[in-house]
Structure 1
Amino acid sequence: MLGEMVIDGVDVTEDPDGDSPPRDHAAELLARIAAHDHGAFAELYDMLSARVFGLILRVVVNRAQSEEVLQEVFLDVWQSAASFAPNKGQGRTWVMTIAYRRSVDRVRSAQSSADRDERAGLRELNTPQDGVAEQVELRVESRRVARALEALSGPQREALTLAYFGGYSQSEIAALTATPVGTIKTRMRDGLSRLRQEMGVTP
C-alpha cells in the first residue's frame, strides 16, 4: 500500500520500495502554463509566490525591489515555461533557480549606484542611526554571499539556495530534487566550507 505525504502543499506519494517517483505538481502546472493555461499559472503563483519572495528578499534585501523581481520571475515563468525539462529537475526547483538568478542580477545591476547612495547618505549623517547602518550592512553582506555562491558547483549552490534562501529542510530538498538525503547533506557541508573560504570566514 502506498504511503501519502504532503510537503508544502505538494502531494507526494511514495512507493515503499522506492520504485515510484514522487509527484511533481509544479512540473504539471508548468506543462499547462506552457500551453497558456491561466488557471495553472494562478495556481502555481499561489503555491510558490511566498517562498519565491522570501528567497528574493534575502538576496536583494530591499522590499520594493524584491516585489519588482517577484513580478519579473513569474513573467519569466509564464514566458519560458515551455523550456522547462522535467527530466532535468523538479518544477519547484526550476522556479526557485530563476528567482535566485534574477535576484543576483538585480543586486549586480544596482550595486554601483547603491554603493554611491550609501556612501553619500552616510556622509550626510553625523551619527548614523542604527537602522540605516544595519540596512547598509545587510546589503553589503547580501552581495558578498551572492558573489560567493557563484563560486560553488551547481548542485552545491542549488542545495544551499533552497535551504538558506528558500527555507527548505534537507529532507524537503531531497524530495524536491529527487536526490538522497545523504547526498544533500554532503553538498551542503562541502558548499558551506567553500562558501566560508570565498568569504574569508574562519570556521
Structure 2
Amino acid sequence: MATPTCTEPAPTTVGVRTEFQRHVDGLLVRIGAGDAEAFAALYDLTSSRVFGVCRRLIRDVAEAEDVAQEAYLEIWGKAGSFDPGRGAGTGWIMAIAHHRAVDRVRSTEGARRRDTAWTRNAYRRPGDDTPERILAATEVEEIRAAIGRLSEVRQQALVYAFFTDHTYAQASSMLGIPLGTFKSRVRDAVRALRTLLAATS
C-alpha cells in the first residue's frame, strides 16, 4: 500500500479547525454523496496517518496495510453518516482505523489461543504433559537442551508453534508451506520432544 506523506499543517488556533481539517470534512461530505474523486483525494491526504495508527498496534507491516485498506472501505461505506457538526473528520477517520486495528489484534490473539488449545488436545496422550511443559516453560533449561537436540526443521516448527505470537496460518505462510504441512511438522516435533523429555524424567 502506498503511504503518501501527509500534508496536514500544524494547528494554529486551539479549539478551531485548521484549513486541512475543514478540507477533510468537505471531502467526507462529498464521499457520502458518492464522489469517488473526493475519496481518492482523501486517501492521498490521510493514508500515511491511517497506516501509522494501524502500524502502532499491528507488528506485521503487510497486515497493517491490509487493515488500513479495510478502514478506507469502511470510511467509503459510512461517509454518508459523517456529521461535521459532531466532530472533525480527521478524528472520525482515525477512530475507524484504530477500531479496525484493535479488532484485528483481538482476532489474531483469539486465533493464537485456538491454535494453542488445538495443539494441547491434538498431541496429548493419556497422562502426557508435554504440551503444557512446552507452553508453561517451567523447566526452561531442560526444554532448551531437548529442543537443541532436534533437527532444524523440528526446532523451527516448535519455535513458531509455542514461542511466538503467530497463528499456525501465519507461521505456515511465513515458512512458505501449506498449513497442513506445518501442523504435521509440529506434531512430529512434539512427538520427538516427548521422547527426549521422557528420557530425562
Give the TM-score taking structure 2 as reference length: 0.51
Q: Residue 26 of structure 2 corresponds to which residue in structure 1?
A: 28
Q: Residue 40 of structure 1 corresponds to which residue in structure 2?
A: 38
Alignment partners' CA distance in 1, 2:100 and 2:38: 22
Structure 1 residues 46 and 106 mapped into 2: Cα distance closer, same or farther (>3 Å)?
Answer: same
Q: Is the 8 A contact 2:53 2:98 kept in 1?
A: yes
Deviation at 1:115, TM superposition (A): 4.0
Q: What does residue range 151-166 of structure 1 map to in structure 2 within 5 Å?
A: none
Deviation at 1:64, TM superposition (A): 2.7
Q: Residue 102 of structure 1 corresponds to which residue in structure 2?
A: 100
Alignment partners' CA distance in 2, 1:73 and 1:98: 6
Is the counterpart of residue 84 in structure 1 residue 101 in structure 2?
no
Question: Over alpha carbons, which structure has the higher Rg?
Answer: 2
Q: Which 5+ residue runs of structure 2 have no aligned equivalent?
A: 1-5, 120-133, 136-142, 149-154, 167-201
Describe the superposition over 1:30-89 as per-residue Cα deviations: whole angstroms up to 9, x where unpaired.
011111111110111111111111111221222232222111100111111011111121
AA aligned opposite 1:41: F
Structure 1 residues 112 and 88 mapped into 2: Cα distance closer, same or farther (>3 Å)?
Answer: same
Give the TM-score taking structure 1 as reference length: 0.50
Deviation at 1:110, TM superposition (A): 1.9
CA RMSD after TM alignment:
3.8
Structure 1 residues 19 and 53 mapped into 2: Cα distance closer, same or farther (>3 Å)?
Answer: closer
Q: Residue 61 of structure 2 corresponds to which residue in structure 1?
A: 63
Deviation at 1:112, TM superposition (A): 2.0
Describe the superposition over 1:7-35 as per-residue Cα deviations: whole angstroms up to 9, x where unpaired.
x52468968xx897533211111011111
Aligned length, in residue pairs: 128
Describe the superposition over 1:148-195 as per-residue Cα deviations: whole angstroms up to 9, x where unpaired.
xxxxxxxxxxxxxxxxxxxxxxxxxxxxxxxxxxxxxxxxxxxxxxxx
Alignment partners' CA distance in 2, 1:114 and 1:19: 43
Aligned residues with identical type, % of pairs:
37
Structure 1 residues 51 and 19 mapped into 2: Cα distance closer, same or farther (>3 Å)?
Answer: closer
Q: Is the 8 A contact 2:71 2:100 kept in 1?
A: yes
